[in-house]
Structures are given as structure tokens and as C-alpha cells.
Amino acid sequence: MGCAGEVAWKNWRMGVRITMADTLFIGFLILLLVRVSSALPLCTDSRAPLTSKASLSFCPYNGTICCNTKHDSDLQKQFESMNVSDPSCASLLKQILCAKCDQFSAELFDIKSGARPIPVLCNSTVLMNSSQSNEAAQNYCSKLWRTCENISVWNSPFAPSLQGPRATVNSTPSKITDFWQSEKDFCNAFGGASSDGHVCFEGGQISLNMTQAEPPPQGLCVEKIGNGSYLNMVAHPDGSNRVFVSSQDGKIWLATVPKVRSGSTLELDVSSPFLDISDILHFDAQFGLMGLAFHPNFVNNGRFFVSFNCDKTQWSGCVGRCSCNSDVNCDPTKLGSDGGSAPCQYHSVIVEYTANGTSTTPSQATTANPSEMRRIFTMGLPYTSHHGGQILFGPEDGYLYFMMGDGGNRGDPFNFAQNKMSLLGKIMRLDVDKMPSATEIDDLRLWGNYSIPKDNPFSQDNKSQPEIWALGLRNPWRCSFDLERPSYFVCADVGQEFYEEVDLITKGGNYGWRVYEGYGLFTPIWSPGGNTSTRSINAIFPVMGYNHSAVNIHEGSASIIGGYFYRSTSDPCMNGRYLYADLYAGALWAGLENPTDSGNFNSALIPFNCASDSPIPCTYVPASTLPALNYIFSFGEDNSKDLYLLAANGVYRVVAPSRCNYTCSKEVVTPVGSLAPSPSPSSAHLLFVPLKKLCLLLLVSPLLLW
């Protein structure tokens, strides 16, 4: 086991006399009637819903919900303050208040358009093509109007003054008819309809209809376009057919991606890297250049960021605070060792470089100066494994996300992943556009030159590190944002002994490690840092993943590799599915959400093969039709949305399934020559490697279990 490794209305009110209240509402109505958000389970505070550990006494919600007992009590007090005399109206108003507990409350209360006092009410007059067949449910808004229109309510949530982000409390009793002239007027303001990707409130807990899941694709077809081994591929921000690829030993190249079926290969000059920092980073099985991200405005400012590891005994610039410190009740002298190194000998570093000095226009730069650098983040590591290292810019907020593992050693013995004063086992969110003052760095105990976004979940909590966006992760290895639904932020998290998981990351989410491994409770064999009880956290469980036994891998030799939601047109049967892999099993999975935007996924093993007309001929595993990828280290995506497998022996692009004789009913096939015979679609190809070869590969493998 010593060498085992782991590497998402129309119907604007017309034809009605416009009152002053109507005028105040026009902007609100436009936003309301053209809602475009999706029904991803999310609470009004932008956090993921949780599984309640206690029954709510006031609101009749259960299962995965957005309220705890305190929220429930607050809603009851709000309801009682309304002093509603009519029982029927009171019952409806209670339902409306309790909608904040629904797992889809962010959608129901339309948080993207501003604060709303009540959810979007189902209204059949708004959209007639609703997927909800229950006419009574669609007329919930009408039911509310007819039941409550002449009932006096204190602190009424229906007053126009309560709409939008500048809501104020109306502390006098009022009737709905005091504000709205007609049912149509009222329901145009507060109503919506349930349709694909949207929900509206019909009086109870939202339950999306499950549809019959599409069968998994027959197989995935790839072509080999490069021979190099890379950990990162990032599309050039200028939208061209160029990408940046980086190797673990510290080099970044600018490469040109060939057109599909051109017969050409990935074009790059190995002898002329875009950037070479091999002289300052530490390269080993667990260390090296781990992440690469380009500023959203790179084409104008030339800024890009590199995440790597350094050794303080080899580079004088490798200086930073140790992650094992008094803030987390950790004594470096008592850490023990997982590889013979001194505590915090190695560091995780993020450095900013610029391409400005090498070209008048940054997008045309072909090299960057390694001496032009600014330190963004530095943190000493307790052990020699589990330090993630990927960096990404959020497509909507423009902040830098930094994925960090639990620091290493078996079972996270110091419980760093659950300790909010530690940055280990976390996803961080940093503002690299606003540089802090020296005073801010000292006061906030920052780890470098960045600022804290004001809406970070723990930014105002002096018992937590303000950088934290999400916690409870073991070693997140490859995260991505969905191109079509940027709210879907997905990370694969490497397991310990039994389960590899895929998590849907949300603000402040706790993903359970080391209280849980996947869905099961985890018991550490050594716990000098103490334990966290299941009752003290609201763990968010994986949306996809696999048991080690599911692919016949022995304990300790599995390592999940996170991918992307496939959005290319090359393989229409793969579109919308999330692709991920296992390093050692040679297996690929595709996960499909059902129903759409529900957060509920089903995944299946996917066979794969190499096109016979691949620009670089593929080699095959002896006595198998499986391409000899050896190991998949990572995935990549280009500006054409094509997906790539970054493997130990080359770069592979996902192409049309017909090129491997896979059948896809959605593909328009243009026959080109003879195609390779199809492997059996009934099972995935699995690759098992002799132990000696496995140990040799770990010299270049990016992850370790221990």
C-alpha cells in the first residue's frame, strides 16, 4: 500500500389602468415576468439545502430543506404578528411564509431579481404551457386572492412597498384590495408558472416530476492529437483555437488545437515554453505546477495565475506561515510524518504573472517573463500529500477559487477539513483585483496579497477563516463550472478507502470529510486533532460517485478525476452529461441530471475507444480494445467546447461516436472511410496495472492517498 495513489413571463400587465403602485412596480414586473434562473436546489441565502436532523414544529417540511428549528421559530413569530382572523386565509399565509423552507426557495423567491416577501405563486393566466397538469395548483394565486382579498392583515407581505431590495415593513393592518385593483393585477405581480427549469408555489413542498432517464451513450470515441503529458489545459481567453497546457515539472506552453478531422495534431514548440518556472518549484510525485488560470480580462491586462509547490530548502522565496499553527491548535513538532519531510518544508503558492512585457497586445504574447511575478498566496503544508492546487475564476463573479486538500496523512488526523480556522480541506474564494493594505493583511491574518469578497460565507465570522467558500473536502481533484449553467460548480473529491465522490459546490457548503466518506461514516485510526460529531454539521452528500468495489479495485488504489459537463456538438448523445474518470481503473463515467435542474444525478460507466483515423495512432492494451491511455490525470476544454482527456501518454479529444462505430441517434453521420470495430456497449473497459508499473508511475502521478 505504500505506493498506492489517488490522483449548474411573458404576459406583462397590459390593458389595465396604471396606478401609482403599478408605476412603482414596472421594473419589478419586468424582472419577474422574464425569469431565466434554473430550479437548482438552493436556499434564499445562496446556500445548499440540508437534511434536517429535527422535525420542524411550525412549517410542515421534511427531508432536504432550507430551515432549521430557529428559522422555523422565526417564521412562526412572523405569522403570529400578522394577526389573521380568517382561518382559511391564515392557512394560506402560513403556507406562503413556510415556502422559505423549501429546497427550491431561492428559485421560488427569485433571489436573482431582488428580495421578495412571498414566493412566485402558481398562476395559470401567466403561462399556459406549464408542465404542471393540476389546474388547481396553477390557480393558487387566484385561490389566495379570493380567500384573502378582504381580510385585514398586519405587516402584509403584499404591499408594493415591500417589493424589491428596499423593502420596508408595513406596520398597519391592510387588505390586498388596498394595494391591487383586481385579481389579474395581483396575479400578474405575484404569479408565475411552472415550466421546464422553473418552479412556482402551489401551497406545499416542491417535488419535480421525474422523467424517464435517457439511456447512457453507447460509448465515447476519442482521437489522439498529442503525445505530451499535462495536468492542465486552459482555453485561450481570446476565444481562438489556442490553449495553454502545463506540465507538472513547471512548464507552460501555448498550443494550437487542430480542427476536427483535419488529420493534424496539437501544435506547440516543446523547446519554447510560454513560461518556465521549473527552477523555483519542487517537482515530485505530489508536487509541481498544479493549477493555471487566466484573468477574465487577460486580453487587456495580460494577468494570469499559477499554482505550484515549493521547497523552502531549495528556494529562498519559499516562505510562508505554516498551516499547522496555534490558530488550529496544532503543534508542528507533534505532526508525525507521512514521508520523512519536516513540517511545512513544502508550501502551496499562487503567483501572478503578466504577459504585458512581451507583447503590445497581451493576447498576442507568446512568452511571459518568469521574473515579473507577484506573490498572491503562500501556505506551509503539514504533510506531503492532499494539497489539491487547482485554481479557477468564477464565470459570474470574477473571483479566484482555490482548491485545497486536507493536508495529507491517513484520515486527516488533525481534522483540518472540519476546522474553520484552517484552510486545509477547503475551497477558497479570493479577490485578486483589490490588493489589501499591510494593515488589512495583519488584521485579517491573510496569507498573501488578495482581498476577501464581502459575500464570502464566513467573512464576518471571527472564528473562521474568511477565505473559505466551502469546507469538508479531502482532496478536490479537478473542479469546473458548467458553461451553460455557471451556478453549477462541480468538484470531484478523492476518497480514502471506499468511496470516490462528485460534489455540487455551494456557498458555505460542508461536504462531510472526515465525519463522512461519501455517504458513510468515517472512523479515523488516529485522531490527535479531535473529532467532529455528526450532529454539529449539516453535511452535503455527493451527487455522483462510485464505490471502489463497483469497478473491482482493491482498497486504496482508486482516485477520481473530475471533468466537465459536456457541451460540445461533436457527440450530441453526450451533451449535458458530466464526465469523470478514475486514474487507476481506466474507467469513465457520465452523469445525467434528472429531472433537469433538480440536483439529482444518475451516472453510468461508459465504454470508450479510439477512432481508427486518429491523427496519432492509438496503442491498445494487450488482448483488449481499450486504448492504452495508461492513466487519465485531468480533463481539458477548449473554446469550441470540445473536451479533452489529459492522459499519461498523450492528449485525447472526444469526437463523433460514429468514428468508433458507436451508434448515436442524435448524430448526423457523414461516412468517412472505414471505422474501427465497436467494443461491447454492455460494459466499460477496465485497466489493471501490475504493482511494479503502478509504483513507477507514481513518480509523475499528481496525487497520493497517504
pLDDT in tens, 140-167: 999 999 999 999 999 888 876 544 433 4
Mean pLDDT of 651-668: 96
Higher pLDDT, 30 or 43: 43
Mean pLDDT score, 50-69: 87
Question: Which stretch of 19-23, 317-321, 542-546 has the lowest confidence by average pLDDT?
Answer: 19-23
Biggest alpha carbon–alpha carbon distance for the chain: 82
Q: How distant is the alpha carbon of residue 248 from its chain centre? A: 24
My answer on whether 168 and 229 are in the same domain is: no
pLDDT-derived band of residue 669, with 50, 70 and 90 as boundaries? confident
Same structural domain, 355 and 463: yes
Q: What is the mean pLDDT of residues 615-621?
A: 92
What's phi and psi for 251, nearest 5 deg?
-115, 145
Q: How large is the average pLDDT for residues 438-443?
A: 88
pLDDT tens digits, residue range 594-603? 988 888 999 9
Instruction: Using the predicted structure, report yes or no on whether residue 226 has a pLDDT greater than 60.
Output: yes
Is it the case that residue 83 has pLDDT exceeding 50?
Answer: yes
563 exposure class (CB count in 10 Å sphere: 0-12, 13-18, 19+): buried
C-alpha closest to that of 485 among 112, 1, 188: 112
List, as one string, the DSSP characters of 216-277.
PPS-EEEEEEE----SEEEE-TTSSSEEEEE-TTSEEEEEEPPPTTS----B--TTS-SEE-
- Whether the per-residue pLDDT at 180 is higher than 80: the answer is yes
| pLDDT for the residue numbered 213 | 76
Domain check: are 110 and 165 in the same one?
Answer: yes
Instruction: Give pLDDT, residue 197.
Output: 53
Whether residue 325 is contained in a domain is answered as yes
40 within a domain of the structure (yes/no): yes
Answer yes or no: do 666 and 608 share one domain.
yes
Q: Which H or E element spans position 439? A: helix 438-444
Q: Which three cell numbers stand for residue 270?
A: 516543446
Shared domain check, 228 and 179: no
User: Is residue 213 in some structural domain?
Assistant: no
pLDDT for the residue numbered 207? 79
The answer to whether residue 437 sits within a structural domain is yes
Task: For residue 9, tell me if it sits in a domain.
Answer: no
Structure confidence at residue 62 (pLDDT) = 86
Verify that 434 and 535 share a domain, yes or no: yes
Over residues 340-363, the pLDDT tens digits come to 678 899 999 999 999 976 567 888
Q: What is the CATH classification number for the domain harbouring 539? A: 2.120.10.30
> Which of the residue ranges 56-60, 158-162, 634-638 would you say has the lowest mean pLDDT?
158-162
| pLDDT at residue 492 tops 90 | yes
- The half-sphere exposure of 146 on its side-chain side, counting CA atoms within 13 A, is 5
Judge if 75 and 170 occupy the same domain.
Answer: yes
- Is residue 224 in a domain? yes
- Both 226 and 169 in one domain: the answer is no
User: Is the pLDDT at 698 greater than 60, yes or no?
Assistant: no
What pLDDT shows up at residue 542?
96
pTM score, two decimals? Answer: 0.84
**Average pLDDT, integer, range 670-689:** 44
pLDDT (mean) for 93-111: 93
Q: Are residues 87 and 163 in the same domain?
A: yes
Shared domain for 468 and 524, answered yes or no, is yes
Judged against a pLDDT cut of 90, whether residue 700 lies above it is answered with no
pLDDT digits (tens, 9 = 90+) for 240-267: 999 999 999 999 999 999 999 999 999 9
Residue span of the structural domain in which 130 resides? 20-192
Eight-state DSSP code of residue 413: T
- How many residues are there in the chain? 706
Q: In what order do the strands lie in the sheet with 346-354?
A: 289-294, 303-311, 346-354, 373-380
Q: Give the residue among 437, 659, 472 at the shortest CA–CA distance from 570.
A: 659
What does the pLDDT average to over 522-533? 93
Distance from the first to the final alpha carbon of the chain: 9
Q: How far is CA 160 from CA 170, 282, 455, in A?
A: 10, 61, 28
Q: For the chain, what is the domain count? A: 2
Lowest mean pLDDT among 113-122, 559-568, 686-695: 686-695
8 located within any domain: no
* C-alpha cell belonging to residue 88: 382559511
Q: How far apart are CA 309 and CA 345, in angstroms?
A: 10
Side-chain half-sphere CA neighbours of 614 within 13 A: 25
Chain centroid, CA 665 distance in Å: 30
Cβ proximity of 489 and 502 under 8 Å: no
- Strands 191-192, 121-122: parallel, antiparallel or unpaired by DSSP? parallel
In terms of domains, do 160 and 287 share one?
A: no
Q: Do 701 and 283 touch, CB atoms closer than 8 A? A: no
Q: Report pLDDT for 473.
A: 98
Percent of the chain with pLDDT strictly greater than 90: 64
Are residues 151 and 256 both part of a single domain? no
All three cell numbers of 237:
481567453
Q: pLDDT at position 12, please?
A: 31
pLDDT at 133: 41
**What's the rounded Cα separation, in Å, for the pair 590 and 673?**
29
Q: Is residue 13 part of a domain?
A: no
Which of 290, 326, 335, 329 has the alpha carbon at shortest distance from 308? 290
Written in H, E and C, the secondary structure of 72-129 is HHHHHHHHHHHCCCCHHHHHHHHHHHHHHHCCCHHHHCCHHHCCCCCCCEECCCCCCC
Please give the residue that has the higher pLDDT: either 616 or 136.
616
Q: What is the pLDDT of residue 160?
A: 67
List the single range of 410-419, 498-507, 614-623 with lowest mean pLDDT.
Answer: 614-623
The whole-angstrom separation of Cα 50 and Cα 27 is 33
Give the Cα separation of 25 and 695 in Å (integer).
67
Confidence of residue 192 (pLDDT cuts 50, 70, 90): confident
Q: What is the pLDDT of residue 521?
A: 95
* Mean pLDDT, residues 413-434 taken together: 97
pLDDT for res 359:
62
Give every CB contact of residue 405 below 8 A, 6+ residues apart in sequence: 385, 386, 387, 388, 424, 425, 473, 474, 475, 476, 494
In contact, 630 and 199? CB cutoff 8 Å? no
